[in-house]
């Protein structure tokens, strides 16, 4: 394989960063979705792959870690993850 | 070559995202205060948290096989189910709010392997980047449903968990994004890739890097990705499409150095509350294409034989649990049915058409521990270069326990 040309790589990075960041920040939830509570999101999302774990299953610190882990497995949105973790931590 | 620049650029571009995301920030006193608070937080030493979880699965199996209509001796065997035994601790280490390290070694009764070992950085809302050894974004079974305490029957669907290889080394970018009342997610990886076998018995098959001894036989990387849409606001339906593209030929092999693979998968998950039941539907369809299907004839190496190098596999599963019944015992039962099919290339030396029908009665001891009673029938028709071989039928009864701890 030819070596990757650094100049091309930087140009490609910059070119791609514009549409990608526009898409990511342009994505917004509808008012109905934005109004969902942590407990609602927990009951709707966590059961898609396995049984829904109760809040008592782990400590607050553990939920922070599991929150990141499940955000990646389930590809939750940032808001969903934050609200669900807050709910599970009992905040 | 151009493709790889674009892809590296794509991932690199995502890294740059936090810098140009400021363009979208609102001005005003509120945002200044938020910014200051964020700056102060970012200067604090990150808190670390270490968590050990994991899973184990074990059980018993009774099996009886008929080959070409003749019952095999002994007529049935009862054994500890070594094929599905697993003990896998999982180490999760979170540093601050954005970095997660995951390591899952696994003992399968014979050896200790590694399911994944990777670092994930949560760059910005909607973007997670990962590096290391991880499960490929292709379909949903391997990444989401394969764990014994998640799978509702005692076995994996035939040809779905193992035919497209599961884990590989590389980098990955993924995220979940709101889309009005819908949601979508993307998951793209660039990894080392697979190797096409060229060893007579398995001419044209791909080697699974999940086993031992994967060698990177070319410098080209493999690209895999999944895009999913959750069209309903309650996240009850998820539809995913995936693809894998890459070279699989050995650069030193003059005949097969240009071998490439193209794979596609579609998957669906749907959950519905039909009181008192929770209905759970899952399915995945895989197609694996390799562009080489002509090999030296094993009987006469001056001649060749050819086949269309395409394999397909799929599974469909439906399960029902009376979750909202008052009776604590009955609501922990779940009934599951799964049908799976695996077809390897017609005319190859490894031709196979197998169907697997599984019926399971499960009892949930807690949200993460399950006792499964699964009855399964696997029908396989084997052939070699178009000549029919054995037809086997095996009935299994599994009694299995699995727990996430």
Residue with tokens 């929150």: A67
pLDDT band at B299 (very low <50, low <70, confident <90, very high): confident
pLDDT confidence of residue B215: 60
Closest CA to B321 of B307, B336, B308: B336
CB-CB under 8 Å, A50 with B150: yes
Residue of A nearest to B273 (CA): A44
- The Cα–Cα gap between B158 and A13 comes to 41
pTM (whole model) above 0.80: yes
pLDDT number for residue B228 = 97
* B20 vs B336: which has the higher pLDDT: B336
Decide if B367 and A69 are in contact by the 8 Å CB cutoff. no
Please, which pLDDT band fits residue B25 given cuts at 50, 70 and 90? Answer: very low
Closest chain B residue by Cα to residue A17: B13
Measure the CA–CA gap between B109 and A87, rounded to whole angstroms: 39
Chain A stretch 3-32, residues whose beta carbon is closer than 8 A to a beta carbon of chain B? 4-5, 8-9, 11-18, 20-21, 23-25, 27-30, 32
- What is the per-residue pLDDT across B268-279, written as a single tens digit (0 to 9) for each? 999 999 999 999
What distance in Å separates the CA atoms of residue B303 and residue B295, rounded to the nearest whole number?
9
Q: At what angle do helices A78-88 and A60-74 cross, to 10 degrees?
A: 150
Which candidate from B14, B175, B181 shows the least CB-CB separation from A32? B181
**What would the mean pLDDT of B141-156 be, rounded to a whole number?**
96
Distance CA B347, CA B174 (A): 39
With H, G, I as helix, E, B as strand and everything else as coil, classify residue B3. helix
pLDDT band at B28 (very low <50, low <70, confident <90, very high): low
Tell me the HSE value of B390 on the side-chain side, using a 13 A CA sphere: 11
Mean pLDDT to the nearest integer, B148-171:
89
Tell me: do B214 and B306 sit in the same domain.
yes
Amino acid B17: pLDDT? 42
Residue A48 CB partners (closer than 8 Å, separation 6+): A74, B235, B238, B269, B271
Rounded to a whole number, what is the distance in Å from the CA of A91 to chain B's nearest CA?
17
**Do B20 and B84 belong together in one domain?**
no
Task: Say if CB A29 and CB A79 are below 8 A apart.
Answer: yes
Give the Cα separation of B189 and B174 in Å (integer): 9
Sign of CA dihedral A31, A37, A43, A49: positive
Instruction: Please provide the average confidence, as pLDDT, over all residues in chain B.
Output: 87
Full residue range of the structural domain in which residue B325 is found: 44-404
The kind and range of the H/E element at B29 are helix B29-43
Interface mutation target, options B178, B281, B362, chain A, most CBs of A under 10 Å: B178
B26 and B167 housed in the same domain: no
Query: How does DSSP classify residue B348?
Result: S
Instruction: Summarize pLDDT for B331-349 with one digit per residue, the tens.
Output: 999 999 999 999 999 999 9
Residues B120 and B190 grouped into a single domain:
yes
Q: Which residue of A has its CA nearest to B181?
A: A30
Asked, as a colleague might, if the bond just before B402 is cis with ω within 30 of 0, I would say no
B224 and B269: one domain?
yes
Chain B touched by A55 (CB under 8 Å): no
pLDDT above 50 (res A80): yes
Neighbouring-strand partners of residue B329:
none
Q: How confident is the model at residue B19 (pLDDT cuts 50, 70, 90)?
A: very low
Q: Which of B283, B217, B224, B276 is nearest to B252 (CA)?
A: B217
| Least CB–CB distance from A17: residue in B16, B219, B233 | B16
* pLDDT tens track for B173-206: 999 999 999 999 999 999 988 888 887 678 888 8
Work out the number of other CB atoms within 10 angstroms of the CB of residue B65: 17
What's the total number of domains in chain B?
2
Average pLDDT in the B153-178 region?
A: 90
A44 near A52, Cβ under 8 Å? no
C-beta atoms of A71 and B128 within 8 A: yes
Q: Are residues B144 and B177 in the same domain?
A: yes
| Inter-chain residue contact A54 with B367, CB threshold 8 Å | yes
pLDDT at site B8: 47
Write down the ipTM of this complex.
Answer: 0.85
Between B334 and B384, residue with greater pLDDT? B334
- Shortest alpha-carbon distance between residue B261 and chain A (Å): 18
Tell me the chain A residues in contact with residue B228 when contact means C-beta distances shorter than 8 Å: 75
d(CA B240, CA B284) in angstroms, rounded, equals 9
Are B65 and B10 in the same domain? no
Instruction: Tokens 């060698």: give the residue.
Output: B215
> Does B72 share its domain with B207?
yes
CB < 8 Å to B177, chain A: 23-24, 27, 77
What is the structure's pLDDT at B11?
46
Say if residue B1 is in the same domain as residue B138: no
Residues B18, B120, single domain; the answer is: no
Q: What are the pLDDT digits (tens) for A12-39? A: 767 766 766 666 667 888 889 999 999 9
3-state secondary structure (DSSP) of residue B40: helix
User: Chain A residue closest to B5 (CA)?
Assistant: A9
Q: Do residue B69 and residue B36 come from a single domain?
A: no
Hey, is the C-beta of A91 within 8 angstroms of any chain B C-beta? no
Q: Are residues B58 and B197 in the same domain?
A: yes
Q: How confident is the model at residue B162 (pLDDT cuts 50, 70, 90)?
A: confident
Among A51, A65, A77, whose Cβ lies nearest the Cβ of B367?
A51
Q: Are B358 and B338 in contact (CB under 8 A)?
A: yes
Under an 8 A CB cutoff, do B12 and A51 touch?
A: no
User: B10, A20: Cβ pair inside 8 Å?
Assistant: yes
Nearest to A44 among B20, B127, B235 (CB): B235
**What HEC string does chain A produce?**
CCCCCHHHHHHHHHHHHHHHHHHHHHCCECHHHHCCCHHHHHHHHHHHCCCCCCHHHCCHHHHHHHHHHHHHHHCCCHHHHHHHHHHHCCC
């Amino acid at each position: 394989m030819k070596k990757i040309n650094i100049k091309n790589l930087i140009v490609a990075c910059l070119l791609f960063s514009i549409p990608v960041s526009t898409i990511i920040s342009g994505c917004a939830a509808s008012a109905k979705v934005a109004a969902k509570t942590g407990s609602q999101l927990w009951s709707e999302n966590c059961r898609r792959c396995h049984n829904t774990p109760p809040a008592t299953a782990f400590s607050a610190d553990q939920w922070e870690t599991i929150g990141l882990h499940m955000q990646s497995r389930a590809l939750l949105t940032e808001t969903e993850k934050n609200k669900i973790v807050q709910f599970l931590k009992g905040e | 070559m151009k493709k790889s620049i674009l892809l590296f650029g794509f991932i690199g571009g995502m890294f740059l995202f936090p810098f140009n995301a400021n363009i979208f920030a609102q001005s005003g006193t509120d945002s200044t205060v938020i910014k200051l608070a964020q700056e102060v937080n970012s200067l604090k030493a990150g808190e670390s948290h270490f968590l050990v979880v994991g899973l184990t699965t074990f059980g018993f199996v009774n099996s009886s096989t008929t080959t070409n209509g003749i019952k095999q001796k002994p007529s049935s065997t009862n054994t500890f189910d070594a094929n599905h035994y697993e003990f896998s601790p999982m180490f999760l280490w979170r540093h601050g709010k954005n970095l997660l390290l995951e390591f899952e070694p696994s003992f399968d009764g014979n050896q200790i392997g590694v399911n994944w070992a990777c670092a994930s950085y949560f760059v910005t809302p909607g973007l997670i980047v990962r590096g290391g050894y991880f499960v490929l974004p292709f379909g949903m079974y391997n990444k989401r449903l394969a764990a014994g305490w998640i799978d509702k029957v005692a076995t994996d669907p035939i040809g779905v968990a193992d035919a497209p290889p599961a884990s590989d080394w590389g980098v990955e970018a993924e995220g979940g994004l709101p889309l009005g009342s819908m949601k979508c997610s993307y998951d793209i990886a660039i990894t080392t890739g697979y190797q096409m076998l060229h060893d007579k018995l398995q001419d044209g098959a791909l080697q699974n890097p999940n086993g031992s001894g994967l060698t990177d036989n070319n410098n080209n990387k493999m690209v895999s990705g999944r895009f999913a849409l959750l069209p309903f606001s309650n996240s009850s339906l998820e539809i995913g499409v995936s693809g894998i593209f890459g070279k699989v030929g050995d650069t030193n092999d003059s005949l097969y150095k240009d071998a490439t693979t193209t794979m596609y998968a579609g998957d669906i998950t749907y959950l519905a509350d039909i009181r008192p039941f929770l209905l759970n539907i899952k399915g995945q369809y895989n197609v694996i294409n390799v562009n080489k299907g002509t090999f030296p004839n094993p009987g006469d190496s001056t001649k060749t034989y050819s086949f269309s190098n395409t394999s397909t596999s799929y599974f469909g599963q439906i399960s029902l649990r009376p979750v909202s019944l008052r009776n604590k015992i009955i609501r922990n039962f779940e009934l599951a049915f799964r049908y799976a099919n695996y077809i390897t290339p017609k005319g190859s030396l490894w031709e196979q058409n197998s169907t697997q029908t599984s019926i399971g009665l499960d009892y949930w001891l807690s949200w993460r521990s399950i006792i499964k009673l699964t009855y399964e029938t696997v029908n396989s028709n084997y052939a070699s270069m178009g000549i029919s071989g054995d037809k086997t039928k095996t009935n299994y009864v599994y009694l299995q326990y699995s727990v996430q701890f």
